[in-house]
Amino acid sequence: MREDGASCPDACVLCESGATRILFQAEECRTPRPGYGWLTSDPLARKKVPPVVRCRVCGFSFRVGWSESDVHAVYREMKNTAYGRWEEDARCTARRMLNLLHRATGGRQGTLLDVGCGAGYFADEARRVGWEVQGLEPSRYAVEIAVSELGLQVQRGEIEDFKPPGKRYDAVTAFEVLEHLVNPVGAVGRIYDLLKPRGVFLATTPNAGSVFARILGRRWWYLEEGHLYYFTRAHLAKLLETCGLDVFVLRGYLKKSASVAYLIHKLCAEAKWVNGLAKIAERSSWLSGLRVRPYFDEIVALGKKRSGGRPSMSDLGV
Of 24 and 121, which has the nearer Cβ to Zn ion?
24
Could you tell me which stretch among 46-54, 57-65, 104-112, 288-296 binds Zn ion (CB under 5 A)? 57-65
Taking the complex as a whole, how short is the minimal distance between the CB of residue 74 and Zn ion, in angstroms?
A: 26
Count of C-beta atoms within a 10 Å radius of residue 101: 21
User: From the list 39, 55, 97, 240, which residue makes contact with Zn ion (rule: CB under 5 A)?
Assistant: 55
Could you tell me which stretch among 13-21, 181-189, 216-224, 293-301 binds Zn ion (CB under 5 A)? 13-21
One-letter amino acid identity for 153? Q
Q: How many residues bind Zn ion (CB under 5 A)?
A: 8
Q: What is the DSSP letter of 123?
A: H
Rounded (to 5) percent helix, strand, coil in the chain: 40, 25, 40
Give the rounded distance of the alpha carbon of 96 from its chain centre: 17
Say if strands 295-296 and 254-255 run parallel, antiparallel, or are unpaired.
Answer: antiparallel
Taking the complex as a whole, how short is the minimal distance between the CB of residue 112 and Zn ion, in angstroms?
A: 32
Give me the residues paired with residue 304 across strands.
200, 246
| Distance from C-alpha of 262 to C-alpha of 120, rounded to nearest angstrom | 19
Q: Please tell me whether residue 318 binds Zn ion under the rule CB under 5 A.
A: no
| Distance from C-alpha of 308 to C-alpha of 196, rounded to nearest angstrom | 12
Taking the complex as a whole, how short is the minimal distance between the CB of residue 108 and Zn ion, in angstroms?
A: 37
Query: In terms of C-beta distances under 8 Å and separation of at least 24 residues, what long-range contacts does 278-282 make, across chains too?
Result: 282/85
Q: Please tell me whether residue 58 binds Zn ion under the rule CB under 5 A.
A: yes
| Distance from C-alpha of 202 to C-alpha of 257, rounded to nearest angstrom | 18
Could you tell me which stretch among 11-19, 45-53, 142-150, 201-209 binds Zn ion (CB under 5 A)? 11-19
Taking the complex as a whole, how short is the minimal distance between the CB of residue 18 and Zn ion, in angstroms?
A: 9
Taking the complex as a whole, how short is the minimal distance between the CB of residue 187 and Zn ion, in angstroms?
A: 17
Of 216 and 234, which has the nearer Cβ to Zn ion?
234
Of 55 and 112, which has the nearer Cβ to Zn ion?
55
Q: Can you give the binding site for Zn ion, defined by CB under 5 A?
A: 12, 14-15, 17, 55, 57-58, 60
